[in-house]
Chains A and B, each alone.
Chain A
Amino acid sequence: MSIELFIEQLEALAQEADKAFSEAADSDQLDLARVEFLGAKKGRLKSLQKNMGAVPGDQKKTAGMKLNAVKNSIQDAFESAQSRLSSASSDGQRDVKFDATLPGEAFHVGRLHPITQTINELKDIMGRLGFTPAEGPEIEDDYHNFEALNIPRAHPARDPLDNFYLSVAETTSGNDSALSGNPLLLRSQTSTVQIRVMENTQPPVRIVSLGRVYRPDTADWSHYPMFHQIEGLMVDENVSLADLKTVLKLFASNYLGDEVPVRIRPSFFPFTEPSVEADYYWDGKWVEFGGAGIVDPNVLRAVGYDPEKVSGFAFGLGIERLCMIRHQITDIRYLFTNDTRFLHQF
């Protein structure tokens, strides 16, 4: 093939392409024209390129340059058509083929467990009231779980059937803690953390402890052998029931998002004296909030505080109950089954 013919063909193609692109009325037509002329496999420019092989050797360079020039001019024509059409559509012409009501690409944000959400909120509120979170071991010894909390040996709470006492299997040391004087157990209350903090800190103390606690109830809709508690402790000079009531009222009002009345009524716990049960008034009735009281002098003495110099209050709440009431969860076992359909609700 002569170079003249090759160039002629290229120029004709350029003209045709220019015409097709400029006449394209919408992006679909333009796309068809693009495939016809610029298609990577069967486009007409591609086919024409093959003819270059037939151009005599000494003229190949000229042919190549022309090919590149034409290729660029067709590309330019396509791009200007493209920009013409896109500016046309932004000028108020609606493309019916674009359905903005189709759903977006699925994007799942993971969910925090409702227990965690409840804990975070309670911790947050207590933080604003000046209570610092404190951690303690879940495996405790008898001393911290009972003795230091003024729970005598004969107290029903220490019954072996009501606690998860622990032993080590088949170790060489043969250390069976259940037989020793200070056996280990899974803590039955978070009050143990109070003892550990007070043992290592001088007053004033203002902490909130949270976490898992264990009691061997058979799981049913309202019981589970593992659950969570939050406990607040404040020890200083002259801390009284009035301070407790004030803090509980702020706490409950913050949690419920509205100013609520709080009442305290006498109760009994070995580690507080006086002991009280706190209720908040919600939806026309008194709802149990949790147990509380003035830290028993025996507990203060056990950690080396002088009950004549300092006093304190403590309160404890069950997280599951608060969480279930708030989210209208009807069976505590749902919380620990972790069905993702359950988790995705919160």
Chain B
Amino acid sequence: MIVSWNWLTEYVDLAMTHDDLVDRLTMSGLNHEGTDAVDKDHAIDLEVTSNRADCLGHIGVAREIAALYEIPLNVPDPQPVTGSDSISQHCSVVIESEAACERYTARLIRGVKIGPSPQWMQERLKSLGIGIVNNVVDATNYVMFECGQPLHAFDFAKLKDGKIIVREAQPEETFEAIDHRTYQLAPGMCVIADSGSAVALGGVMGGADSEVSEATVDVLIEAAYFDPLTVRSAARKLKLHSPSSFRFERNVDSENLDWASRRVCELILESAGGELLEGVIDVGSPPPSRQPVNLRYSQLQRLLGIEIPVDFVAPTLEKLGLVIESSDENSVTAIPPSWRKDLTRDVDLVEEVGRIYGFEKIPDDVNVPMSASYRPKADRVVDKVRNVLTAAGFDEAVTPSLVPQPWSDAFTPWCDSPPLISSQPMLGVLEEYSHNIGTVNLLRRSLVPSLLEVRRINDYRSNANVNLFETAKVYLPSDDREIPDQPMKLALVSHRDFFAVKGVVEALVKELNPLAAVQIKECEEALLDASQSGALWLGDQRLGWMGSVSESAKKQFGLRSDAIVVEIDLGVLEGETQLIACHANQSPFPPVTRDFNFIMDDEVRWASLESTIRSESGPLLESVKYLETFRDEARDGPGKKRVLFSVVFRSNEATLTGAQAEELCNRIITNCTSAHHATLVG
């Protein structure tokens, strides 16, 4: 809302400086956004919150100033002279849609002479940046910016049968507005019609046909209360926002219709002459009665944290337009003014008294009681995850939660149900390369596709060694829950090879639980390479998936090189996490290390070989370490491999003897030979 300094002086004596005024207004709720010098005036831009429609007019702002500076407020009392002919002889108004229009008033002025509005009025409107039209239209604008009530003037001759019908728009109905564009209306919108067609879109804009022009002689003045929601949805659907719709959307003062109507008539008579017909047409429901509100003084201290002198309270409320009904040493009861529909409870009055008294007087150094906070386990787990991954050289990414369909379908290991669909798409979140992929309106069921897109972006920007991770929720619909499942996942995408990334996953699990070990099992996921992939398990819980991105998926995601992806359920990881590690005694005796080199079939998996090695070795076996695999078809024949590994034995009780070690080795050799047809080399 832009207010003019000069205009404000009409209602309050501005003895303060401009800077002092805007500071106090800011600190009492009208945030100062800037001031422009216009001719000999200041155009002051104030931010008005949506509950304060009363401050969308100069009088409302002046009332705030009067309360803040404890000075008188002068509001004009318009008493336009009327003729003897009565409006009811010439005009009628019917409200067919009470939901859209609670109250409608009309006055009629006959014999006006259209011309320029007075200089003072033009100057004030120009200060606000409002275009000048003629003495009738300018007067309606002037009164709107004076009191916040939008008004409309019709060329009465253009209203068929002198009738006004307030109704819902009909299907397919069209309407040409003052901007000379034709709008397609829809049921639910409120139109003002004569006995023929729509002449105005209620609360939004007048019609071209009935607009006041040079040829206008008689004008009908509309002052009405339109339903905020109806006006807002019509203005939004038609993209037709006006100062009128802005005010109706925020609830105008339905008790002020008559004042505004009289005021504009008075101004028109002054500058355009003519005769105001006797009486007013006033249809619809009378405004609801206003209920008194009781404010206990103790609430001020309790909620504001400062003591406000009791004798400050009632006068302040009065300055703001409340009428005091009664008061005693504990409380005051007052009826709020019609323009403050937001004041219905004691806490609303606490705010009023507090903001006029000054929030700057509230201390910022009180004793807030101490309280110990704690960090939830999930938080600490995610922190550890991030520490391991950054130490491993992975950078963290943050990507949007909604994805287009091809990405949504590309990888859905956690869930078979179709994704949740959003009513609104996310706009502007895809890079140009990906614009044609689809509408971004599906809630993702995996983080991996989003990370593959990030990888592609980095590939295209020639960024080398891209290793990224993200922790975020995925959204899994389920029929049996009110709110869909939204588990936290961790996903990785890496330039490194399969085992380098697997090593990171293993290190991650070890960090969270030194005793846990990840197993990998075969899986079938189209996104992943058939052999370089697997499902990750922790005991009997599925931890996630990892694998090399398949050739076809690389093509789909526009990747120029190989990528390994991982996705892990952070809930499972959290469940397995041991935040407090336990000590075990370290053996003081030396280890015995033995290397083995076995020839075996390619089909033998390391995991099963390792379990054979461990199976009968007992507590003396300290560790098994895989060393390498190599193949020598010339010597070993086709389909064979040599697997080298090293085993460390150690006792907690004594130094192992050669014979003990020998016996353990022999057991390993025997078991490996019988379980895997493995042959020991040399």
Chain A residues with CB under 8 Å of chain B are: 107-113, 115-116, 123, 126-135, 137-141, 154, 156, 159-161, 163-171, 173, 175, 178, 184, 186, 204, 206, 212, 214, 216, 218-220, 224-226, 236, 238, 240-243, 245-249, 262-268, 273-277, 294, 296-297, 311, 333, 335-341, 343-344
Contacts and interface: CB of A to CB of B under 8 A. Distances in A.
A274 B355 contact: yes
A294 B347 contact: yes
B516 interface: no
A133 B381 CA distance: 14
A219 B371 contact: no
B345 A219 contact: no
A112 B362 contact: no
B530 interface: no
B559 to A, nearest CB: 15
Nearest to A165: B423
Contact of B422 (A186, A212, A249, A265): A186
B421 interface: yes
20 contacts: A110-B469, A123-B379, A132-B375, A137-B486, A139-B483, A141-B483, A156-B249, A160-B423, A169-B418, A216-B425, A225-B402, A245-B305, A265-B31, A266-B29, A266-B354, A333-B428, A336-B400, A339-B461, A340-B395, A344-B395
Contacts of B374: 132
Contacts of B427: 216, 218-219, 225
Contact of A241 (B359, B399, B461): B359
Nearest to B467: A110
B58 interface: no
A interface majority secondary structure? mixed
Interface in B279-317: 301-306
Contact of B483 (A137, A264, A265, A275): A137
B366 interface: yes
Interface in B390-442: 390-402, 417-429, 431
Contact of B429 (A224, A245, A246): A224
Contact of B359 (A137, A243, A247, A265): A265
Contacts of A137: 483, 486
A344 B394 CA distance: 11
Given A165-B422, A167-B423, A241-B303, 14 more contacts: A110-B389, A111-B396, A132-B374, A139-B420, A163-B424, A169-B418, A169-B419, A171-B477, A204-B371, A216-B426, A226-B426, A265-B26, A343-B395, A344-B395
Contacts of B399: 336, 338
B interface majority secondary structure? loop
B483 A263 contact: no
A139 B421 contact: no
Interface of B: 26-29, 31, 49-52, 228-229, 232, 236, 249, 301-306, 345, 347-348, 350-351, 354-355, 359-360, 362-366, 368-376, 378-379, 386, 389-402, 417-429, 431, 443, 454, 457-458, 461, 463, 465-469, 472-473, 475, 477, 479, 482-484, 486
Contacts of A112: 386, 390, 396
Contacts of A160: 423-424
B363 A245 contact: yes
B632 to A, nearest CB: 22
B461 A154 contact: no
Contact of B347 (A130, A266, A297): A297
B304 A110 contact: no
A343 B396 contact: yes
B371 A130 contact: yes
Contacts of A216: 424-427
A236 B279 CA distance: 58
Most buried by A among B354, B419, B483: B483
A236 B473 CA distance: 32
B3 to A, nearest CB: 18
Contacts of B28: 265-266
A240 B364 contact: no
Nearest to B372: A130
A166 B423 contact: yes
A171 B52 CA distance: 46
Nearest to A307: B347
Given A166-B423, A178-B423, A219-B428, A115 B398 contact: yes
A169 B447 CA distance: 20
Given A161-B424, A169-B419, A294 B443 contact: no
Contacts of B366: 242-243, 246
Contacts of B484: 139, 184
Given A166-B443, A273-B348, A243 B368 contact: yes
B483 A140 contact: yes
Contacts of B370: 130
A247 B368 contact: yes
B421 A167 contact: yes
Contacts of B304: 240-242, 274
